[in-house]
Amino acid sequence: MPIGRNITVKVEGAGCMSRRLVFLALTFFILFTWMRPAGAVEDAQSGPALIQETMELLETHHLSHPDPAKLTDGAIQGMLDSLDDPYAEYFSAEELQGFADSLNGDLVGVGIEIRAGEQYPFVVDVIPGTPAAKGGIAAGDLIVAVNGESTEDLPLAEVVTRIRGVLDSAVTLTLRRGAQEFDLILHRAAIHVPLVEQDMLDGGTGYIKIVSFGTRTAEEFDAAMARLKADGMRSLIVDLRFNGGGYVLEAIDILDNFIADDSLAFIIDDGLGHQDEIHTQGKPAFKDLPVVVLVNGLTASASEILAGALQDHGKATLVGDTTYGKGVMQAVIPLSTGGALKLTVSRYLTPAGRDIDIVGLTPDHFVLVHDLQKEIAWQLLHPEDDPDLGFVPGSGKAALNSRELDVSIDFLQLGNERYLPLRPVLEAMLYQVAWQDGVIKIFSGREEILTLNTFNSRWNIQPGAFIEQGISYLPEKILPQLNIDINKEGNKIVLTRRLF
Q: Alpha carbon 307 to chain centroid distance?
A: 12
Flag whether pLDDT at 205 surpasses 90.
yes
Q: Alpha carbon 20 to chain centroid distance?
A: 25
pLDDT tens for 480-489 read 999 999 999 8
CATH 3.90.226.10 domain extents, the chain: 196-327+353-366
Question: How much is the pLDDT for 435?
Answer: 85
Question: How much is the pLDDT for 311?
Answer: 98
For residues 87 and 330, the answer to whether their CB atoms sit within 8 Å is yes
Closest C-alpha to 307, from 346, 267, 266, 335: 266
pLDDT band for 463, please (50, 70, 90 cuts).
Answer: low
Closest C-alpha to 424, from 456, 400, 455, 392: 400
pLDDT tens for 327-353 read 999 888 999 888 899 999 999 999 999
Task: Give the pLDDT mean for 490-495.
Answer: 92
The CATH number of 109-192, from 3.40.350.10, 2.60.120.10, 3.40.50.920, 2.30.42.10, is 2.30.42.10
Task: Give the pLDDT mean for 357-378.
Answer: 96
Flag whether pLDDT at 45 surpasses 80.
no
Task: Give the pLDDT mean for 115-135.
Answer: 91
Flag whether pLDDT at 44 surpasses 50.
no
102, 212, 301, 472: which is the annotated catalytic residue?
301
Max mean pLDDT among 58-67, 138-147, 156-165, 441-450 falls in 138-147
* 0.85 surpassed by pTM: no
Q: Which residue has the higher pLDDT, 472 or 11?
A: 472
Question: How much is the pLDDT for 468?
Answer: 80
How far, in Å, CA of 316 to CA of 498, rounded? 25
pLDDT, mean over the chain: 86
pLDDT band for 469, please (50, 70, 90 cuts).
Answer: confident
Closest C-alpha to 104, from 3, 13, 222: 3
How far, in Å, CA of 372 to CA of 347, rounded? 33
How far, in Å, CA of 441 to CA of 451, rounded? 5
Flag whether pLDDT at 46 surpasses 90.
no
Task: Give the pLDDT mean for 200-206.
Answer: 97
Task: Give the pLDDT mean for 21-45.
Answer: 39
pLDDT tens for 72-102 read 889 888 999 999 888 898 988 888 888 888 7
Report DSSP state, residue 288.
T
Question: How much is the pLDDT for 183?
Answer: 96
Closest C-alpha to 78, from 40, 44, 47: 47
**Which top CATH class is 196-327+353-366?**
alpha beta
Question: How much is the pLDDT for 457?
Answer: 54
CATH 2.30.42.10 domain extents, the chain: 109-192
Longest dimension (CA), the chain: 88
Q: Alpha carbon 458 to chain centroid distance?
A: 39
How far, in Å, CA of 391 to CA of 401, rounded? 11
Question: How much is the pLDDT for 456?
Answer: 65
Flag whether pLDDT at 157 surpasses 70.
yes
Flag whether pLDDT at 25 surpasses 80.
no
326 is known as an active-site residue: yes
Residues written for the chain: 500
Q: Which residue has the higher pLDDT, 213 or 161?
A: 213
Flag whether pLDDT at 479 surpasses 50.
yes
326, 342, 374, 472: which is the annotated catalytic residue?
326
What single string gives the DSSP state of each residue in 92-122? -HHHHHHHHHHHTTEEEE-SEEEE--SSS-E
DSSP H or E segment with residue 277? strand 275-279
User: Strand, helix or coil at 338?
Assistant: coil
- For CA atoms 262, 263, 266, 267, give the dihedral sign: positive
Q: Which residue has the higher pLDDT, 500 or 87?
A: 87
Closest C-alpha to 184, from 246, 131, 220: 131
pLDDT tens for 418-462 read 899 999 999 999 999 998 777 899 999 889 988 888 776 554 545
Our CA angle for 320, 322, 323, nearest 5°, is 100
For residues 257 and 196, the answer to whether their CB atoms sit within 8 Å is no
For residues 121 and 143, the answer to whether their CB atoms sit within 8 Å is yes
